[in-house]
Each structure stands twice: as C-alpha cells, then as structure tokens.
Structure 1
C-alpha cells in the first residue's frame, strides 16, 4: 500500500469533516446576527386555551422554543423543556407549521412546559428569528434582547454547556 498517496486524501477528508462540523454544528450562537438584537414583534394567534406570546409584555428573562408536533427531535427534547419549566424557567413555544389540533394533542400527550404558545403556520416569527428549522431555542434577557441561540434538540449536555450559563448570566 502506498501511504504517500493515501495521506493527502485522508487529510482532505479530515479537513472537510472539521469544516462541516464547524459550519453545521449546533453551537453557532456566537456569530448569530440576532444575538444582541431585540426579539422581533410578530402578532400571532395563541393556541386555544393558552396565553400567547407578546415580547413587549413579558417581564424578566425567558426562553423561546420553536417546535412542531410533526418534528421527531422536538418530541425527543420535550422532557428537557419540561425539566427547565419545572425549575422555574419561563418558556414560550412557537408551534411552527402545525395545526391547532395537532399542537394541542402533542401538549396533551407530553405535557405543557410553555408559559404561552402561539401558532406560526406560515413561519412569520420563525423567519423573523432567522430560524432554520425545529427545534431551536433562544435565551432572551429581561430587556427582550436575544442572548443565545441553540439549533437542534436540547440535551442535558447542550443545556449545561449552551443554555444554562447564559440563563444564569441574564438572571444576575
């Protein structure tokens, strides 16, 4: 076997992998253009029986979570959201591309960690937030400024590494 021919090819594969991980990895909050900006104001319908979401009327820090009943990763992260809510973290849910019936059924089945839920069938707020899919979670400070963004399903490691430190900082 000729290692001198394989080594450059292996190096290229490794470099492509590193760049892909950096570009596509979930921890892209540091260079997110909306981090440091106010939460966009988009008027959406509240899910029946739920408070809505009006960034201008919320006092104190909170999380925004984009989810859908059709989204398997959203289902997987739901226990993490419930755990955060049980610890007193206010979370506002944006049911993206979902029907009221399916969104309500999802919450009835798995529990409702949200302080308020709005329906975003056309993706108006999702687009305004610059979200690329579901799930995505944003940490918002008491002034309504986005302080962090996490793309992908929340896990205990992701919460400990990317959400909780920012959450503690905005609660000082």
Structure 2
C-alpha cells in the first residue's frame, strides 16, 4: 500500500526527465524554418560604446554569420572560443547582443575577446523576435544579397559549423 504513494513522485520524475531530455537535445530547425530563403530583417540598433556597429543594409560583398548572443547566456560563453577561431580564419561574424546593455556587452567582449566585425544591441528583443529566435545562442548564415540561407539553434562547434553552416556560407 505504501508503494502507491510513490506513484505520483515517479510520474513527476519521469515527466521532468523527458522535459530535460527534450530541452537538452534541441536540434537544428532548418527543415521547417520559415525564414530560410527570406531577407534578413532590417534594423538600425545602438552599438556598444567603442565597438564597430552594423546594420544588414550596410553589409555588402559577401556572406556572413549573424550570431545572437547574450552576456547572461552560459551556452554563449561556451561557444565563444569557437567564434574566436572562426574570426581568426577570416569568417565574417556580426553579433546581435540580446537583452544586454552597452556595459554588459562590453564587459563580456573585454573578458573573452571580440569575434565580431560589428555588434548591435537588441535590449528589448525586437529583432530577435523578428528572427524567430528561440534561445541564445542562435546563428544565421546570410548570403551576399541579404537572404537567410541557414540557421543553427544552439552553441556552434566545429562539427556543426562544417556540416550545417559552412556549405551555405561558402555558397553565399
């Protein structure tokens, strides 16, 4: 009879485990992403003090990565060394700092290095919402005509970049 008291606890534990598994195994959404093939949303946002800024309309001449990140985001910090590697390889990366102020974005970049050719602040998440971002970090490949060609939801690694984003970047 006392084991019946454990049933609700076991059911709750099972549901919590399934939820954790679903959240931790988030995968690429390219197959159903409605923004693939669409123009990147246009914006003109504030820039962290002392950093170069950008807007999509100001970028000409080649494909680039648009990385949505936040100083408050542990997965963003985890992916940051790889972004620094990509910058050293000459990959153009532009950063969209989500829910950050100039001070917090600069503190993050001063501490870890700046992989971005330009940074824009989206403190209210207006552009992030237009991009359909589900969580930071997320990275988009934008071609030379300003069209979104690929998207990765979650931290980038070498394997993910080479398999999922590099082909779109090189075709761009």
TM-score by length of 2: 0.83
Distance 2:135 2:74 in 1: 12
8 Å contact 1:137–1:150 — kept in the other structure?
A: yes
Distance 2:51 2:102 in 1: 11
Which of 101, 117, 134 is 1:115 aligned to?
117
1:36 corresponds to which residue?
37
2:77 matches 1:78: no
Distance 1:118 1:26 in 2: 26
Deviation at 1:79, TM superposition (A): 0.8
Task: State the secondary structure of the residue aligned to 1:43.
Answer: coil
Deviation at 1:164, TM superposition (A): 1.3
Which of 130, 140, 151 is 1:149 aligned to?
151
8 Å contact 2:149–2:168 — kept in the other structure?
A: yes
Distance 1:30 1:147 in 2: 12
Q: Which runs of 4+ in 1 moved over 2 A?
A: none
Task: State the secondary structure of the residue aligned to 2:77.
Answer: helix
Distance 2:171 2:38 in 1: 17
Distance 1:150 1:123 in 2: 18
Deviation at 1:144, TM superposition (A): 0.3
Distance 2:44 2:55 in 1: 8
Distance 1:137 1:163 in 2: 9
1:124 corresponds to which residue?
126
2:98 corresponds to which residue?
96
Deviation at 1:30, TM superposition (A): 2.4
8 Å contact 2:63–2:170 — kept in the other structure?
A: no
Deviation at 1:31, TM superposition (A): 1.7
Distance 1:40 1:165 in 2: 22
2:53 corresponds to which residue?
52
Count of residues paired in the alignment = 151
1:63 corresponds to which residue?
65
TM-score by length of 1: 0.83
Deviation at 1:67, TM superposition (A): 0.3
